[in-house]
Amino acid sequence: MGLGQWHAERRCFSSESPQSMDLENGPETGSLSIAVLGASGDLAKKKTFPALFHLYQQGFLPEDEVCIFGYARTKMSDDELRDRLRGYLVRDKDASSEELEVVAKFLHLIKYVSGPYDSEDGFRQLDKEILEHESLKTCAEGSSRRLFYLALPPSVYPSVCKMIKACCMNKSDGGWTRVVVEKPFGKDLESAEQLSTQIGELFEEPQIYRIDHYLGKELVQNMLVLRFANRLFLPLWNRDNIDNVQIVFREDFGTEGRGGYFDQYGIIRDIIQNHLLQVFCLIAMEKPVSLKADHIRDEKVKVLQSVIPIKDEEVVLGQYDDYRNDPTVPNDSNTPTFASVILRIDNERWEGVPFIVKAGKALNSRKAEIRVQFKDVPGDIFKCQKQGRNEFVIRLQPEEAMYMKLTVKQPGLEMSTVQSELDLSYRQRYQGVKIPEAYERLILDTVRGDQQHFVRRDELKASWEIFTPLLHRIDKGEFKPFSYQAGSRGPAEADKLLEKVGYVQTHDYVWSPPSLE
């Protein structure tokens, strides 16, 4: 099937599919202008443009409707930007001529405008280019849609948003203008609220998409389905059956050239306050009224507002031993590269259940997972508690999987027990199915007007209220990290904290992804 035929069939399907509609405004047609601000930066080259390319490949960005604009301070031509991007779109050196042709057609949709982020001149030129595209591609009955993706540091968000508001807003009656902003959304409650106010004075909340790429991950998006579409979990998902929950993020490398940047934020701001807290919300929230964005986000806010203040004795911070050897990191840095924090929820479902939120760099493995550990079986007639507890584990990355750890009879003549698993490994079960990148999903959501996987302002505020007191104490040097060896599990104190709050480690059980053979 040729690319043009594929796009035509995709549009035919999309015009009739409810999934292709803007969830608030119904189906849309006409021109779509996507402006990537910060187009010369790493985020744009490595994530934003490749995500747009994959959406184009799958027919979600029809070439007779879409034009993509790169905007940055760097002086270069359209072709120079296209040449910079080509290597990030063609990963396979043995790519076929047909694949290279698709890349070339996508790159032809990209134009470049150079200009500052705090002056109207460049944005007036950007608006002129967008208007030219709209005049060529807007259908008579269609609308003009403008999406601005800010692949920029938050310090320039206010000035850029002012320029967009002054110079680049949609000018058609039936169209829209939307703005996508990346984390970090501030450094604490005060700075986050200041940033929200500055952007909120220019755009309405339905126009603002605060992106957290963890909400685009396949198994994070699966959480609501798992919890609320399976009768199995409904009676179990509470303090009567669950002993503790772990949400873990581990990297097996350090800051590696990002030390100066990372030192301004630390592991709590970089990973826990945003990515892992979003996962925490989906695990702990109550069932929403519907799948509408605000109904889901209402429940997430309720959970965040129910979190009690973090106790000092339920926090362990760490810093790996080579961290300060980075020349960009201060010799007296107090910034944690590891943190284990216990969150507790004051509500009927979760009272007394510790949520262990843990993240670290330069550890002995790379993974992100959710681990729900159930309570011991009362009246254990098999005397098998030494085998370990039941656990429901959701492996977010790498090698996406879900598995349930169960105690079963050891095959043989004796009545002995062993721990095994019921396993759904995506690589085995869904062979040949491509799992989309998080940014692909989330950019498509912005085009469709679906905000359920984006962070609302009150949700952002509630998340900062949880961590700001602890962060201020760390910033003042009042809370010191323990040193740990790079390549280890992290500080030994973190394992002691796990044991203290009730987590039972199964030392002789190791889950292995099933082989495809």
Q: Rounded CA gap, 191 and 196, in Å?
A: 9
Residue 57, classified by CB atoms within 10 Å of its CB into exposed (0-12), middle (13-18) or buried (19+), is middle
Burial class of residue 19 (count of CB atoms within 10 Å of its CB; 0-12, 13-18, 19+)? exposed
- If phi > 0 it is left, if psi is from -120 to 50 it is alpha, else beta; for residue 379 that is left
Catalytic residue at 275?
A: yes
Q: How far apart are CA 44 and CA 50, in angstroms?
A: 8
Is residue 70 a contact partner of residue 111, using CB atoms and an 8 Å limit?
Answer: yes
Give the span between the Cα atoms of 354 and 342, in whole angstroms.
6
Q: Kindly report the CA angle at 509 between 313 and 241, in degrees rounded to 5?
A: 55
Phi, psi for residue 212 in degrees, rounded to 5: -130, 110
Which of these is catalytic: 7, 54, 133, 275? 275
Cβ-contact 341, 272 below 8 angstroms: yes
**Amino acid sitting at position 241:** N
H-helix or E-strand containing 369? Answer: strand 367-374
Please give, one letter per residue, the 3-state secondary structure of 384-440.
CHHHCCCEEEEEEECCCEEEEEEEEECCCCCCCEEEEEEEEEHHHHCCCCCCCCHHH
Separation between Cα atoms, residue 277 and residue 280, nearest integer Å: 5
- The residue assigned the tokens 């043995």 is 94
Distance (Å, rounded) from C-alpha 117 to C-alpha 4? Answer: 37
At 395, phi and psi to the nearest 5? -90, 110
**What does the DSSP 8-state code read for residue 269?**
I
Only one residue has tokens 């405004």, namely 25
- The bridge status of strand 355-360 relative to strand 208-211 is unpaired
Catalytic residues: 275
